[in-house]
A and B are shown apart, each in its own frame.
Chain A
C-alpha cells in the first residue's frame, strides 16, 4: 500500500496506542457507571490549555505552544473540573447529571472565551490550539508519538497492576469498603487515569470526541463477553482497530477528518457488536427466539392433530398414523389463522413429522406420532395437576397448561407422573379432562 509512508505509520502508532489505552480505562468507567465523566474532563481541559498558552507566552514569548506545558495545563484544568463537579453534587438540589452538565458548560465557556481572545492576538495563531478541539491526528510527529507511547504503556501497566482492586470497586464498592480497601483511593486513581487518557486523546481525535474513545469500545466489548478480563482485552482491541482503520481511511480518502473517522469506525464496530456479539448480540437473541417459537408452534400443531384424530379412532389402541386430518379441520379446532396452520404444516412436513397424501389430508409419521404423544401427555398431566393441586377450574386449565407445558423438562414430567400415579388417577395416556372444543383451545 503506497499510503503507508513514514508519516502515516507514525500517526498510526500513536492513535492505536491511544485507542488501546482508552479502551482499557473506559471499561472500568463503564462498569462504574460513569461513562460520561470523560466528556466533562475533556471539556474542562480547554481553559487550562488557553491559560497555559497565555502564561507561557507571557513569561517566555514564543514558547506559547510548548506541548508538554499545554498538556499539563489541560490536565490541571480537567482535574479542577472534576473536583468542581464532585463538589456540586454535594448540593442537595443538584443531581449528578446537572452537576456534570454545569461543570462541562461553564469550563468550556471559559475555554472558548480564552480561545477567542488568543485568536485575536497577533502571536496567537490559535490554529494550533484549535486542533485540540477537533484533533490533529494527521499532524502528529514522531516525538509526540514517543511521549504518547510511553504514557499509554504506563496507563496499561497501571491498570494491569490494579486490576483486581478496580474489578472489586466496579462490582461491589460496599464490600470493598467493608473489606478495608480504599474505595476513594482507587476511584481517585481511576479518575487520574481518565484525565491522562483524555489529555492524550485530545491530540488525536480532539476533545469533543475523546469521550467516544472511552465509551464506544467498552460498550461494544460488552456484547462479546461476560467476563471482566476478556472485556478489557476486547475493548482494547476494538479501540486499537477502530483507531487504525480510521487513520488509514482518512489518509487514503481526501478531506476526511481523522478524528471523526476514527469515531465512526468505532460506531461501525459497535453496530456489528450489537448485532452479532457472541454473548448478547441481537442476532443470536432473535435466532434463539425464533427457534423457540418454531418448537412451540410444532408442539401445538401436533397436539391439535392428535386431538382431532383421537375421537375418530375406534379404540385407544388404534394406530394414530392411520388417522388423518384436513386443513379446515385443524383451522377450526384452534383459533389459528389458515396462514399459520399452513406454515406449521409445512414445517412439520419438512421435519419429517407429518406427511401429506393424495387427497390433501395430513398424516402423522412414526416420529410425529411419538412427538405428538409426548406433547399431549405433558399437556394433560399439567392440566390434571392444576385441577387437583392448584384448584384451577377445568374450563380454565387449557390456557395455563398451554403456556407452561413447553417448558416442562423430562424430570418434571416424571415427577408429575409420580404425583398423579400415587393418587391413581392417571392411565398411560391421561384422558383429557374436557373436550378440546368446549375449552376453546388456542
Chain B
C-alpha cells in the first residue's frame, strides 16, 4: 500500500528531528502560557531571514565571500538574522506593553504582524535577486530539501542542522533544568531568589527563534507553529511532571513526523477517489504532519489516564455507583434501626422505589456492595453483613452529625438540612466526624430527634 523508500526514511527522519527540536522550547512556552509567542516568533523571523539572505547575496556580489564559503556562511547568517528579529519581537512587545499600557496579546499582535508584513514585502521586492521562493519559506519543501545530502549515506544537510539544534536545545535544557523549572512555574519566586528570570525569558525567545529558523527549511515557518504547540499540548495531557512532559512531547513530535509522512503518501489516493480527481497528486508532508499531530492530540485527549474524557466518564460512573451503593447501605441501616427489615432481606424493587433510581443502577450498586462484602444474599433480597452494618452506621452518623452542625450554625428548614446532609455524608471521614462531634459536644440526637449512632470500633 505504501511505497516506502530510503528517501522516505530520510525525509521522515529530517522532519522528525525538526519537530523534536521545536517541541522542547515549545513545551516551555506552553507551560508559561505563551504559546502564541511561538506563533508570533515564527511570523517575526521572516524579515530576519530575508534580510540575512539579502546580506549574504550582497556580500557575495561584492566579492567579500567566495562561493565555497557561501554555503557555510548562509546558515549562520540566517540564524543570526532570525534570532535577532525574534528577540526584537519579544522585546518590542514587552516595551509596548509597559510603556503603551496595551493589552499583552494586542501588543504581540501589533509587533509580529508588522514584522511579518515587512518580511513579505521584502520577499516580494527582492525575491528575484536573492533567490527566495515565497512558498518555500512559508510552507517548507521537505521533498527537495532532503536531496541536499552531506555524505554517502544520503544524510540530508537539513537533518544535520536540525540535529545540532536539537542537541543544543537538549543540552541547555539539561544544564538549566532547575532554573527553567522555577522560572516557568513561579517567575516571582525566581526573581525574589535572585535568578535572572528576565534573561532566561530572553534566552528562551532566542533559542526558539534559532530553532524556528533551523526548522523552517524543512517544514516552513508557518507550520513550525504546529510543532511548537501541538506535541507539547499532547504531552501535557499525558504527564504531570515537567520531565515527563518534555519526554512525551519529543516522542509525540517524532511520531507525528513519521505518521505525517506516511499519510502524505497514502492520502492522495483517497482524495482522488473522494473528489473524482483525474490523478492523485501530492499533499505536502508538513501539512500532513500538522494533521497527524492533531490526530495524536485527539488520541491523547481520549485515552489519557488522568485527563482523558474516557477516563473522566469512567470516573463519573464509578462515583455514581459508589454514592448509590452508600445510599443503599444507609437505607438498609435505617430499616434495621427501626427493626423493619423484612425477614427474607430487602428486595431490589423496594430499594429502587425508595431511592428513585433505575433498577439497573441498583443492580450495579448491589454488585459493588457484594464485591466489598458489605451485603449478602438472602431468600428474597439482601441484608447487611457486619462490615456493611458498620459502614452503614458511619454513613448515618455522618448524616446526622452534619444535620446537627448545620442546625446549630444556620437557620435552615428541615428539607435543606436533609438535602445538604445527603451530599455531605458521602465525603465525611472519621477524623472529620470526631471534629464535628467535639464541636457539638458529643450530641446524642439529630435535629429530628433521631439518635446519632456511635462510631463503629
Contacts and interface: CB of A to CB of B under 8 A. Distances in A.
- B is bound to A: yes
Interface of A: 30, 33-36, 39, 54-55, 57-58, 91-95, 97-98, 100-102, 104-106, 108-118, 120-123, 130, 133-134, 208-209, 211-212, 215-216, 218-219, 222-223, 255-257, 259-261, 263-264, 266-267, 270, 274, 280, 282
Q: List the 3 closest A-B pairs by CB distance, nearest first.
A: A109-B290, A113-B287, A105-B226
B120 A106 contact: no
A20 B205 CA distance: 35
A267 B106 contact: no
B170 interface: no
A267 B36 contact: no
Interface residues of B, number: 68
A101 B225 contact: yes
Contact of B38 (A101, A116, A133): A101
Given A104-B39, A215-B106, A109 B120 contact: no
Contacts of A92: 307
A92 B278 CA distance: 45
Interface in B140-192: none
A390 B301 CA distance: 62
Contacts of B282: 116-117, 120
A319 B291 CA distance: 88
A128 to B, nearest CB: 15
B120 A134 contact: yes
B262 interface: no
Given A116-B139, A212-B114, A223-B100, A36 B109 contact: yes
B294 A109 contact: yes
A97 B33 contact: yes
B229 A116 contact: no
B103 A215 contact: no
B283 A113 contact: yes
Contact of A110 (B33, B36, B287): B287
B30 A98 contact: yes
Contacts of B103: 30, 33, 35
Given A30-B106, A102-B230, A260-B120, A121 B35 contact: no
Contacts of A111: 287
Given A112-B286, A117-B268, A270-B110, A104 B233 contact: no
A134 B120 CA distance: 9
A264 B116 CA distance: 10
B134 interface: yes
Interface stretch (B59-67, B269-277, B398-406, B414-422): B269-277
13 contacts: A36-B36, A91-B237, A94-B236, A101-B228, A109-B289, A109-B294, A121-B278, A134-B120, A215-B113, A255-B124, A263-B117, A267-B117, A274-B96
B130 to A, nearest CB: 13
B222 interface: yes
A57 B275 contact: yes
A106 B229 CA distance: 10
Nearest to B30: A98
Given A54-B275, A121-B279, A209-B116, A94 B287 contact: no
B114 A267 contact: yes
B281 A117 contact: yes
Given A108-B222, A112-B284, A39 B109 contact: yes
Most buried by A among B114, B118, B139: B114
Given A215-B113, A219-B102, A105 B283 contact: no
A98 B35 contact: yes
B10 interface: no
B248 interface: no
Interface in B199-242: 220, 222-223, 225-226, 228-230, 233, 236-237
B297 interface: yes
Interface of B: 30, 33-36, 38-39, 43, 96, 99-103, 105-110, 113-114, 116-118, 120-121, 124-125, 134-135, 138-139, 220, 222-223, 225-226, 228-230, 233, 236-237, 264, 267-268, 271, 275-279, 281-284, 286-291, 293-294, 297, 301, 307
Given A93-B237, A117-B283, A134-B134, A280 B116 contact: no
A256 B125 contact: yes
Contact of A106 (B117, B138, B290): B290
Given A98-B35, A113-B291, A261-B121, A105 B105 contact: no
Contacts of B30: 98
B287 A260 contact: no
B39 A101 contact: yes
Contacts of A117: 268, 271, 281-283
A209 B283 contact: no
Nearest to A108: B222
Nearest to A214: B109
A57 B277 CA distance: 9
A120 B275 CA distance: 14
B117 A282 contact: no
Most buried by A among B116, B117, B125, B283: B117
Contacts of B108: 36
A95 B236 CA distance: 11
Contacts of A218: 106
Given A109-B223, A109-B286, 14 more contacts: A36-B36, A57-B275, A58-B275, A97-B35, A98-B30, A101-B228, A102-B294, A106-B294, A109-B290, A116-B283, A117-B281, A211-B109, A260-B120, A267-B110
A91 B312 CA distance: 11
Nearest to B288: A113
B226 to A, nearest CB: 3
B121 A215 contact: no
A261 B120 CA distance: 9
A92 B312 CA distance: 12
